[in-house]
Amino acid sequence: MNKKLRFLTKTSLLKKIKSKWFIGINILILIIIVGILNIDSIISFFGGDFSNNLEVVVIDKTEEVYDIFKANIDSSKEVLDSDNSIKIKKSNKSEKELKKKLDDKILIVLKSSPEEYLTAKVISKKKIDAIDYQLITSALSSTKYNYGLIKTNIDIEKLKMISSEMKIDRVVLDKDSKSAADNMDTIMGTVFPTIILPFFMLVIFLVQMIGSEIYEEKSSRSMEIIISSVSPKVHFISKIISSNLFAIIQGTLLISYGAIGLIVKNNISTSSSSSITSMFSTLWTTLVESGFVDKLYYIIPITLLLLLLSFFAYSLVAGILASMTVNMEDYQQIQTPIMLVSLLSYYLAIMAGVFDGSTFIKVLSYVPFISCLLSPALLVIEQISIVDVLISIAVLLIFNIFIFRHGMGIYKEGILNYSNEKVWSKFKKIIKNKN
Partner 1 sequence: MLILKNIKKNYQNLVAVDNLSFEVSDGEIFGLLGENGAGKTTTFRMIMGLLEPNNGTISLDGKKIDYSTIDKIGFVTEERSLLTKLTVKEQILYYGSLKGMSNSEILKKLDYWLDKFGIKDYENKKIKELSKGNQQKIQFISAVINEPKLLILDEPFTGLDPINVKMLKDAIYELKEKGTSIIFSSHQMEYIEEFCEKLVILVKGKTILEGYLEDIKNSYGIKKILLNVLDYDVEKLSKIKGVKTINKKRDYYEINIDNESVVDLIFKEIKKYKVLKFDAKKPTLNDIFIEKVGGYHE
Q: Which residues bind partner 1 (CB under 8 A)?
A: 1, 3-4, 7-8, 11, 216-217, 220-231, 416, 429
Q: Smallest gap, in angstroms, from Cβ of residue 419 to partner 1? A: 11
Q: Smallest gap, in angstroms, from Cβ of residue 253 to partner 1? A: 23
Q: Which is nearer to partner 1, 11 or 271 (CB)?
A: 11
CB-CB neighbours of 280 under 10 Å: 12
Q: Smallest gap, in angstroms, from Cβ of residue 232 to partner 1? A: 9
Q: Which is nearer to partner 1, 15 or 111 (CB)?
A: 15
Separation of first and last alpha carbons in the chain: 27
* Parallel, antiparallel or unpaired: strands 117-124 and 106-113: antiparallel
Contact 49, 129 (CB under 8 A): yes
Q: Give the C-alpha distances (Å, rounded to integers) separating 222 from 2, 15, 178, 228, 231.
A: 21, 16, 57, 10, 14
Q: How far is CA 178 from the centre of its chain?
A: 24
Q: Smallest gap, in angstroms, from Cβ of residue 245 to partner 1? A: 19
Q: Smallest gap, in angstroms, from Cβ of residue 423 to partner 1? A: 13
Q: How many CA atoms lie within 13 A of 75 on its CB side?
A: 12
Q: How many residues does the chain have?
A: 435
Angle 336-350/192-219 helices, nearest 10 degrees?
Answer: 170
Q: How many CA atoms lie within 13 A of 155 on its CB side?
A: 4
In degrees and rounded to multiples of 5, residue 182 shows phi and psi of -65, -30
In degrees and rounded to multiples of 5, residue 393 shows phi and psi of -65, -45
Q: Smallest gap, in angstroms, from Cβ of residue 27 to partner 1? A: 21
Contact 321, 211 (CB under 8 A): yes
Q: Smallest gap, in angstroms, from Cβ of residue 315 to partner 1? A: 21
Q: Distance (Å, rounded) from C-alpha 3 to C-alpha 12?
A: 14
Q: Which is nearer to partner 1, 34 or 240 (CB)?
A: 240
- Angle, CA 185 vertex, CA 180 and CA 191 arms, to 5°: 135
Beta strands, E only, 36-136: 53-60, 85-90, 106-113, 117-124
Q: Smallest gap, in angstroms, from Cβ of residue 394 to partner 1? A: 33
Q: Smallest gap, in angstroms, from Cβ of residue 15 to partner 1? A: 9
Q: Which is nearer to partner 1, 60 or 217 (CB)?
A: 217
Q: Which is nearer to partner 1, 4 or 406 (CB)?
A: 4
Q: Which is nearer to partner 1, 178 or 233 (CB)?
A: 233
Q: Which is nearer to partner 1, 11 or 190 (CB)?
A: 11
Q: Which is nearer to partner 1, 138 or 219 (CB)?
A: 219
Q: Which is nearer to partner 1, 216 or 330 (CB)?
A: 216
Q: Distance (Å, rounded) from C-alpha 299 to C-alpha 380?
A: 8
* Parallel, antiparallel or unpaired: strands 106-113 and 53-60: parallel
